Amino acid sequence: MNEHFLQFFWKHYSKTRKHLRLIDGTRIEVYDPGEWNFESGPDFSAATIRIGDTRWVGNVEIHLKASDWYKHHHQHDPAYQNIILHVVGQYDKPVYSDTGRQIPTLELKVPRKLWQTYESLLQERHTIKCSEHLERIDSFKFNFWMGRMAIERLEAKSNLLEHFLIETRNDWEASLYRLFARSFGQKSNSMPFEMLARNLPLSIIAKHRNRRFQLEALIFGQAGLLQSEWFGDDYFQKLRAEYLYHKHKYQLKSLPGYLWKFSGTRPSSFPNIRLAQWIRFLESQPHLLPFTLEFEPTQMNQLRKELQLDEYWENHYRFNKISLQKGKAPGTDWAHHFIINAIAPALYHYGKTFQQAEKQEKAIAMLEKLKPENNQITRAWNKKGQHPKNALNTQAYIHLYQQYCSKSHCLQCQIGNEIIRLPSR
């Protein structure tokens, strides 16, 4: 058995255990096991217990062996000097605080079957570890947990915007500029896009927004895509000359071109194409915050049209390499990705920051209107009989898999909790 499972048992079963006694024989009763702490410090806070005739409220620390108290050097840590109870799986020695106070110790025995159920979950080789047990889970509890997963996912995505806001000292326009750039890059080129947004300030973009050629030179040049070749077609050479002028003017330093990923990416998603579409976006949306707050999913088709590429990019996917002539506009999958990873999290975070619940509700409703995502994780859930109805649902399934299933965090998962506590068949 591991320590984490002993913590789980204390959390969910200690209140129901009768005739509990400390090592010295003193009777103990648990009213509230406390709040489970997954950060540094005692394992549980604000627990309420009765030892003998005295009621205590405070922190509880849990170890597999009592001697782990010394192994972890808790006797010298101020955070552990006011522990009201030490819960152990095996008592092998008494423990004392730094002041010499003996810590009350409870040896808590875990039923073997309970541990075996948990162990069987950990050993499952399925992508979704609990997939063979899902039919036994109460549908209300399952749906409640998935609702929480959807919000956790939205919170996690909005945390990136919060990080940008801290960096830019609450400049919403500059922060959205970074967030939207990252989303344009999608999974394969999100980081180079973010680095580009950091490397080319929005203030410079604003000065050249109405001069497309200058904007193209600045963005492709800062991306490092005008440095890879010394010779090229007329358009490439003109862009390069224009960029070198602005590079000197603004004292710019470009990214290394090798950061951009082409391999494993469809030609329609090549960095050159996405950057050209990014330029169209910056031209059409001079103010990113109003765009975010007023956005409706019905606007996406119009936005896609505004990002349609023509002229040079009709017959190019990369500089200096002619391809079949084809107009290039982002597809619906890209549009949904942009809403899911940029617009909805930004709107949600704005509502949270300024206590405008209607903005948060709008962000959630936005995801409910999008079709479910189709990827490796959602297909795995589909195979197990779980069929999400919209993007909010698929975001929940993705979050559950990435943050709980793949990390074997069954004890923090409500579904895992239920399975462990279900009677064996």
Q: What is the pLDDT of residues 136-156, one digit of tens each?
A: 888 899 999 999 999 999 999
Residue 308 lies in a domain: yes
- Same-domain pairing of 174 and 285: yes
pLDDT tens column, 172-201: 999 999 999 999 999 999 999 999 999 999
Q: Is the pLDDT of residue 300 over 80?
A: yes
Residue 156 lies in a domain: no
- What is the rounded average pLDDT of the residues 4-9? 92
Q: Is the pLDDT of residue 157 over 70?
A: yes
187 neighbors 398 (Cβ within 8 angstroms): no
Q: What is the three-class DSSP state of 40?
A: coil
Residue-level pLDDT at 325 = 73
Q: How confident is the model at residue 397 (pLDDT cuts 50, 70, 90)?
A: very high
Q: How confident is the model at residue 410 (pLDDT cuts 50, 70, 90)?
A: confident
Residue-level pLDDT at 425 = 46
Residue 379 lies in a domain: no
- Same-domain pairing of 200 and 281: yes
| Chosen domain end from 311, 330, 349 | 330
What's the whole-number average pLDDT of the chain? 92
- Same-domain pairing of 95 and 242: no
Q: How confident is the model at residue 423 (pLDDT cuts 50, 70, 90)?
A: low
Residue 241 lies in a domain: yes
- Same-domain pairing of 106 and 173: no
- How many independent structural domains does the chain possess? 2
Tokens read off for 382: 């589909």
- Same-domain pairing of 222 and 305: yes
Residue 22 lies in a domain: yes
pLDDT tens column, 60-71: 999 999 999 999
Percent of the chain with pLDDT over 70: 98
Check the CA dihedral 78-81-83-86 and report its sign: positive
Q: What is the three-class DSSP state of 88?
A: strand
- What is the rounded average pLDDT of the residues 265-294? 95
Residue 381 lies in a domain: no
307 neighbors 277 (Cβ within 8 angstroms): yes
The one-character DSSP state at 265 is S
Q: How confident is the model at residue 229 (pLDDT cuts 50, 70, 90)?
A: low
Residue-level pLDDT at 424 = 53
| Chosen domain end from 62, 84, 110 | 110
- Same-domain pairing of 191 and 316: yes
Q: Is the pLDDT of residue 220 over 90?
A: yes
The closest alpha carbon to 200, from 279, 284, 317, 292, belongs to 279
- Same-domain pairing of 319 and 233: yes
Residue 146 lies in a domain: no
Q: How confident is the model at residue 80 (pLDDT cuts 50, 70, 90)?
A: very high
Residue with tokens 């947990």: 145
Residue-level pLDDT at 200 = 97
pLDDT: which is higher, 390 or 311: 390
pTM: 0.81
- What is the rounded average pLDDT of the residues 291-317? 91
Angle at 91 between CA 87 and CA 96, to 5 degrees: 70
- Same-domain pairing of 237 and 320: yes
Residue 3, burial from CB neighbour count under 10 angstroms (0-12, 13-18, 19+): middle
Residue-level pLDDT at 90 = 95
The helix (H) or strand (E) run that includes residue 277 is helix 271-284
- What is the rounded average pLDDT of the residues 208-232? 90
The closest alpha carbon to 102, from 91, 114, 110, 115, belongs to 91
Question: For the chain, how long is the longest CA-to-CA vector?
Answer: 90
- Same-domain pairing of 106 and 247: no
Residue-level pLDDT at 227 = 82
pLDDT tens column, 36-57: 998 889 999 999 999 999 999 9
- Same-domain pairing of 33 and 178: no
Which range of residues forms the domain containing residue 21? 3-110
- Same-domain pairing of 194 and 297: yes
Rounded distance, CA 41 to CA 156, Å? 24
- Same-domain pairing of 180 and 61: no
| Chosen domain end from 330, 363, 395 | 330
The helix (H) or strand (E) run that includes residue 189 is helix 186-199
Residue-level pLDDT at 310 = 83
Angle at 399 between CA 394 and CA 403, to 5 degrees: 160
pLDDT: which is higher, 117 or 290: 290
b/e string for 94-127 if b means 16 or more Cβ within 10 A?
Answer: ebebeeeeebbbbbbebeeebbebbeebeebeeb
